[in-house]
Amino acid sequence: MKVYYVRHGQSMNNVINDLTDQEYENLRQLDPQISEQGIKQVKLLTDYLKSRKIEFEEIRCSPQQRAIQTAQLINEVYKVPVKIQQNLHEKGGNQLQNKGIPGLTRKEFQNKYPEFEIDEIIQDAGWYFQDKRETDEECRQRAEKVIQDLHNEKKKSILIIGHGNFMDMVLGTVCGRAQNSKYFYYHQNCGITLLKNDGYGFEIDFYNDYSFLEMHYLKTGEDLILKRLANYKGKI
């Protein structure tokens, strides 16, 4: 099977990446939408997927707004089933200042996104079940569960819209990265990684492809490699 794993378009939190850590935390939104630039990125991504004749049977996205909005924009063209999947959320969970926030309930998701399938685990208590920030170990275990579930997947090709830090954890799991490793699998906004499973386990076919954004960044004058890698700092 093929899993096209894509990071969401630039979020309103990503816009303030260049601030100091303290300034960022003070201004960080709990569940931001994507920015105007993020919308442009997703449209370029969608055109690129179509130009490469990449198809998938279903889109799955995290319950966070930036991932859902990215999925919506892609599906304006693809028109396939979309599922909001609870365990695809960003590392750390739905939290502000390390305090866990439940997030939207099942009914709220159904009212806001009636065309989407909602994960059965999301009910009246919201989608985030802890009163604190998710730990690194909890995140690692969640990544392992996501990979295990994908091993048992019957569909031949799906698109997942996720988040940079959790995508790093998933790829680290696939590659058997040591838990204390300093290596990080960075994804640019809308960067695409293809995971393939031919029956012997997942392997990375290609990683963080954002070639379709190069002209966009040249036009805006942003030094994509140096600036974004220097200021990423795991911010979401």
Rg, the chain, Cα only:
17
Q: How far apart are CA 25 and CA 10, in angstroms?
A: 17
Question: Does 66 show up as a binding residue in the annotation?
Answer: yes
Catalytic residue among 89, 90, 134, 163: 90
Beta carbons of 140 and 169 less than 8 angstroms apart:
yes
Give the residue from 89, 177, 156 showing the smallest Cα distance to 129. 89
Question: Does 10 show up as a binding residue in the annotation?
Answer: yes
Question: Does 9 show up as a binding residue in the annotation?
Answer: yes
CA 146 to mean position of chain CA atoms: 13
Q: How far apart are CA 49 and CA 33, in angstroms?
A: 22
Give the residue from 184, 121, 172, 117 showing the smallest Cα distance to 147. 172
Question: Does 12 show up as a binding residue in the annotation?
Answer: yes
Active site residue 115: no
Question: Does 14 show up as a binding residue in the annotation?
Answer: yes
Beta carbons of 70 and 84 less than 8 angstroms apart:
no
Angle formed by the axes of helices 136-151 and 164-175, to 10°? Answer: 70
Active site residue 90: yes
Q: Which residues are annotated as a binding site for substrate?
A: 7-14, 66
Annotated binding site: 7-14, 66
Catalytic residues: 8, 90
